[in-house]
Amino acid sequence: MNVEHVLTTCPYCGTGCNFFLQVVDDRLIGVVPCKTDEISRGQLCIKGYNAHAFVQHPDRLKTPLVREHGELKQTSWEAALDLLAGEIKRIKEKYGPDSIAFLASAKCTNEENYLFQKLARAAVQTNNVDHCARLCHASTVTGLLYSFGSGAMTNTIPEFENADCIFVTGSNTLEAHPIIGARMLKALDRGAKIIVIDPRDTPLSRLAHIKLSQRPGSDIAWINGMIKVIIDEGLVDQDFVKTRTTDFDKLKDVVKDATPEKVESITGIKPAELAEVARVYAKADRAMIAYAMGVTQHSNGTNIVEALANLAMVTGHIGSESNGLNPLRGQCNVQGSCDSGGLPNLFPGYQRVDDEKARAKFEQAWDVKLPAKPGLTLTCAIKEAAVGKLKAMVIFGENIMMSDPDLGHVEDAIKELELLAVIDIFPTETSKFAHIVLPAACYAEKDGTFTNTDRAVRLIRKAVNPPGDAWPDWKIACELGKRLGAKGFDFSSPAEVMAEMATVTPIYGGIDHDRLDREVLRWPCPSKDHKGTRILHTQKFTKGLGTFAPVDHAPPAETPSDEYPFILTTGRNLFQYHTGTMTRRSSKLEREAPEPYVEMNKGDAKRLGISEGDRVSVSSRRGTINLKARVTERIIPGSIFIPFHYAEAAANRLTNAALDPESKIPEFKVCAADVQKG
């Protein structure tokens, strides 16, 4: 048996581990780790080891489908693309370009996302293009742009190993980013101190030196409380604050009110414990903060991110080896889809669409007039569809009927659309409502790049052919662009697309597929002789001086009431991934975590007469789901947790669509809920 090994990048979390796909006769038979990969170093988590399993699942979409008389019927690519292009043209002519929205995809490559946003901007003349970063780290992008001028991990994954203090909040790192968690455990072995602040116990928090549990929705209060301790005890890095930052006085003015008593009353954290955390973090030589969606998915998510940036700057823990602020991105290419311009206000490389100079550059490169007005975010597009203002959505590789908040509202909204086109690898909860469904190739069936959470641009390589008549998304985007009459969609390979993207995206200016074959490149990499950038903000911040944001505590949009006495928070588990489209079709992963559950505190369960494994209904103001109870001490009294992977009890039927005003990220992490037995 001749086994071929094809080096590629994991399609699951944003860690971006490389591994070899094992191929026999155009079929995947397994995954082998790559020892020379500087990210994974020969390790993989269970999802990585099973990353081949869903690829040849019989459910894969294999032919284009078009809805006729209420049913999806098979058709040819020619017919489906002609219909899609014709409908886009009709709707554009009748209602204007801003009646159409495109969704790019954190599961597609940089090259594909570059083409998706080019389709929206150059072929349809709308900036209505967004993707699921809106639902996970949009507040990181807005918050860190304000504080530092750049919204990405400031350091690299290997640096966790050499930190003296690792401060983790809002991240279940060992389950959601296991190989990054493994680096943290190496640091622990070396004697580093790990601090975790989280409403739940996590596998990492059980090993931490200090674990504190805050009330959900109280993050700015404890962060400001820490900063007050640092100021009061003379632990500020005065030199750093003086030479590298601005607006420290404004911050001091806000945090002076964060007294220990006040902070405890908001957060539930004891003053002495918070002071100890502040001292350990501030006094460490090398301290890295890691955070994820527990921080970002709030109606004040941008401000929480800015508060963490304040904490890093006030102690000078930023801009050097193993010192920094590190948002852990959830999906394989969510960093890259932001970099590639899958955002309604930004061209590729974070260049503003309302900046005349930037727009002129893209107009010249693409030979077309471009719109100046920022487009709709994904969350606002749903609201506009619900009131009949948005008429069409073209969705590449996203499952909004699982991933968005308040799914009842999303369903009502997409039923109003005159055109819903879904391009995906499997039928999804969203494609059930589509007028046109196009079959796409998955990561193992095409070439391209993903950018992982530490800004490393990583090749994916074609190992097998797509099933049936499925096409890679980049080819679908090109064919659609040509049918819409746009110029600049004549690409014959992803490498050619990257070559064009590099010419208009300064942070990717020196990146090409040939180089990536030989070396690890992290952006910014502005020229062909540049080696890429491991650590951001070393001499100065991207924006010059770092800016302290004077942010203060604000309550979540919903707080518990008599009718809804619990706070529901959502998240992931180790074996499933995002909306379950891929992992739930991987038999070994599904075997380990096959059904939805709600975690609740032992005391709460006893009071309600609920035992481990009982069926319960969980309700919010938006809906009810039924699932099994897991009775545990992992979660604080008054809070419950539901993973959002399971369509049969979709947590997002319950979540609140209240938005952070700046980033428009929804408040997934706090909603008022009730639990009843039965």
Binding site for ligand SF4 (CB under 6 A): 10, 12-13, 15-17, 40, 44-45, 47-48, 177-179
CB of 13 to ligand SF4, least distance (A): 3
> Which CB atom, from 10 or from 419, has the smaller least distance to ligand SF4?
10
Q: Which is nearer to ligand SF4, 297 or 331 (CB)?
A: 331
Q: Which is nearer to ligand SF4, 148 or 644 (CB)?
A: 644
- Strands annotated E in 440-552: 448-451, 456-460, 521-522, 546-547
Taking the least distance from each CB to ligand SF4, the nearer of 19 and 564 is 19
In this complex, which beta carbon is closest to ligand SF4, that of residue 47 or of residue 286?
Answer: 47
Q: Phi and psi for 76 in degrees, rounded to 5?
A: -90, 165
In the complex, the smallest distance separating the C-beta of residue 127 from ligand SF4, rounded to whole angstroms, is 31
Q: Is the Cβ of residue 339 or residue 479 nearer to ligand SF4 in the bound state? A: 339
**Which DSSP string do the residues of 258-294 spell out, in sequence order?**
--HHHHHHHH---HHHHHHHHHHHHH-SSEEEEE-HH
How far is the C-alpha of 657 from the C-alpha of 666, rounded, in Å? 5
442/635 with CB nearer ligand SF4: 442
Residue closer to ligand SF4 (CB basis): 39 or 255: 39
CA distance linking residue 114 with residue 116, whole number of Å: 6
Q: How far is the CB of 54 from ligand SF4 (least distance, A)?
A: 13
Cβ 443 to ligand SF4 shortest distance, Å: 11
Q: How many helices (H) and strands (E) are present in the chain, helices listed first?
A: 24, 30
3-class state of residue 595 by DSSP: coil
Q: Which is nearer to ligand SF4, 17 or 287 (by Cβ)? A: 17
Cα dihedral 321, 325, 327, 333 sign: negative
Q: In this complex, which beta carbon is closest to ligand SF4, that of residue 375 or of residue 580? A: 580
Strand order in the sheet with 193-197: 210-212, 193-197, 165-169, 287-291, 324-327
Structure tokens at 189: 């072995």
Cβ proximity to ligand SF4, 426 vs 450, nearer residue: 450
| Minimal distance, residue 647 CB to ligand SF4, in Å | 21
- Cβ-contact 625, 616 below 8 angstroms: no
169 Rama class: left (phi>0) / alpha (psi -120 to 50) / beta: beta
Which residues make Cβ contacts (< 8 Å) with residue 165, sequence separation at least 6?
Answer: 192, 193, 194, 195, 280, 281, 284, 286, 287, 288
Task: Supply the minimum distance, in Å, between the C-beta of residue 342 and ligand SF4.
Answer: 20
Q: Which of 657, 117, 581 is nearest to 385 (CA)?
A: 657
Q: Report the first-to-last Cα separation within the chain, whole angstroms.
A: 54
Specify the residue, 8 or 15, whose C-beta has the smaller distance to ligand SF4.
15
Which residues 6+ apart lie within 8 Å of 627 measured at CB? 595, 596, 597, 598, 615, 616, 618, 642, 646, 649
CB of 46 to ligand SF4, least distance (A): 7
Helix (H) / strand (E) element for 356: namely helix 356-366
> Whose Cβ is closer to ligand SF4: residue 123's or residue 180's?
180
**Residue type, position 639, single letter:** S
- Least Å from the CB of residue 450 to ligand SF4: 10
Please state, in angstroms and rounded to a whole number, the distance separating the CA atoms of residues 258 and 260: 7
Tell the smallest beta-carbon distance from residue 177 to ligand SF4 (Å): 6
CA distances to 394, 460, 501 from 488, rounded to whole Å, are 20, 24, 12
How long a stretch of residues is the chain? 678
Tokens of 379: 């969350």
Residue 25, class by beta-carbon neighbours within 10 Å (0-12 exposed, 13-18 middle, 19+ buried)? exposed
User: 601 pairs with which residues across the strands?
Assistant: 632
Smallest distance, ligand SF4 to C-beta of residue 19, A: 7
Q: How far is the CB of 369 from ligand SF4 (least distance, A)?
A: 41
**Residue 273 beta carbon to ligand SF4: minimum distance, rounded to whole angstroms:** 31
Q: Tokens standing for 66? A: 């078009």
Q: Which stretches of 74-218 are DSSP H helices?
A: 77-95, 110-118, 133-136, 138-147, 173-176, 178-190
Residue 305's SS3 state is helix
Single-letter amino acid, residue 396:
F
CB of 9: closest distance to ligand SF4 in angstroms?
A: 8
Complex with ligand SF4: residue 105 or 310, whichever CB lies closer: 105
DSSP 493: S
Q: Which helix (H) or strand (E) holds 640?
A: strand 639-643
Taking CB positions, which residue lies at the least distance from ligand SF4? Answer: 48
Beta-strand pair 456-460/521-522:
antiparallel
Q: Least distance in Å: CB of 182 to ligand SF4?
A: 8
